[in-house]
């Protein structure tokens, strides 16, 4: 279902914990927003140094903004140099990736991060049957896709000691169960 950008920009902040996402972005951030969608976060982030959003579907009004937006596949994009960035956002991207790519993708990203770099993962992670049903229904209608939930518990067990977990927590907004996992490269 193609929702007009003006409506999307009004509705999405009602279900997205934007303030929590922003709270983890440092003032000197050079941001790489993987799966940036329509660029909603750029409208809300203040006090950053640079921003680049990558998405398979960049809206047409962003095509000419080559400084801030790139149309492309995140899985391939992180194969190039990432030294220009120090803050990586994965906001509701992972459940769109095939399960076999999820860990490979995040691990590859982490391995390419520099010491001190921050990774903010926020994804849908239902805590009960009702929210699971609602999230699946939502994504099926909006994205025509089945959700591939990211297994945060198994992922945490694979982390090595060159990573610090800055925070991890659930936040429910209406029937949307969000999970935050924020890491810093040590
Ligand atoms: C639920 S939207 C989230 C958008 C944005 N992060 C936000 O929070 O508003 C997920 C986005 O991931 C994008 N996406 C899915 N798989 C992708 C991939 N392999 N590479 C780049 N973008 C991808 C989709 O096109 C979609 O815009």
What's the pLDDT tens digit per position in 17-55? 999 999 999 999 999 999 999 999 999 999 899 999 999
Cβ of 15 below 6 Å from ligand 1 = no
What is the overall mean pLDDT for the chain? 94
Query: In the structure encoding, which two tokens stand for residue 157, read together?
Result: 């067990």
The model's confidence at residue 13, banded by pLDDT at 50, 70 and 90, is: very high
Query: In the structure encoding, which two tokens stand for residue 70, read together?
Result: 């790139």
> CA nearest 83: which of 32, 25, 35?
32
Q: Which residue has the tokens 């000419």?
A: 64
Residue 66 CB burial class (10 angstroms; 0-12, 13-18, ≥19): exposed
Domains and CATH numbers, the chain: 5-185 (3.40.50.150)
The model's confidence at residue 1, banded by pLDDT at 50, 70 and 90, is: low
- Give me ligand 1 centre to Cα 116, in Å: 25
According to DSSP, the residues that pair with 87 across neighbouring strands are 31, 118
Cβ of 147 below 6 Å from ligand 1 = no
Cβ of 156 below 6 Å from ligand 1 = no
**Structural Rg of the chain based on CA atoms:** 16
Query: In the structure encoding, which two tokens stand for residue 86, read together?
Result: 């120090």
Look at residue 2 in the predicted model and tell me its pLDDT: 74
Residue nearest atom 4 in ligand 1 by C-alpha distance? 37
Backbone angles phi and psi of 26, in degrees to 5: -70, 160
What is the pTM assigned to this prediction? 0.97
């Amino acid at each position: 279902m193609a929702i007009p950008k003006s409506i999307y920009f009004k509705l999405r902040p009602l279900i997205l914990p934007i303030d929590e996402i922003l709270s983890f972005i440092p003032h000197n951030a050079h941001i790489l927003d993987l799966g940036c969608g329509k660029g909603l976060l750029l409208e809300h982030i203040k006090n950053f140094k640079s921003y680049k959003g990558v998405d398979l579907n960049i809206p047409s009004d962003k095509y000419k903004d080559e400084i801030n937006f790139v149309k492309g596949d995140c899985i391939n994009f992180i194969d190039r140099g990432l030294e220009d960035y120090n803050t990586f956002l994965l906001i509701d991207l992972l459940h769109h990736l095939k399960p076999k790519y999820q860990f490979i993708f995040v691990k590859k990203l982490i391995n390419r991060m520099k010491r001190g770099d921050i990774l903010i993962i926020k994804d849908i992670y239902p805590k009960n049957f009702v929210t699971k049903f609602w999230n699946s229904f939502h994504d099926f209608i909006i994205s025509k896709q089945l959700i591939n939930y990211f297994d945060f518990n198994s992922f945490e067990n694979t982390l090595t000691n060159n990573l610090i977990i800055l925070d991890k927590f659930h936040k429910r907004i209406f029937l949307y169960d969000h999970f935050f996992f924020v890491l810093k490269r040590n």
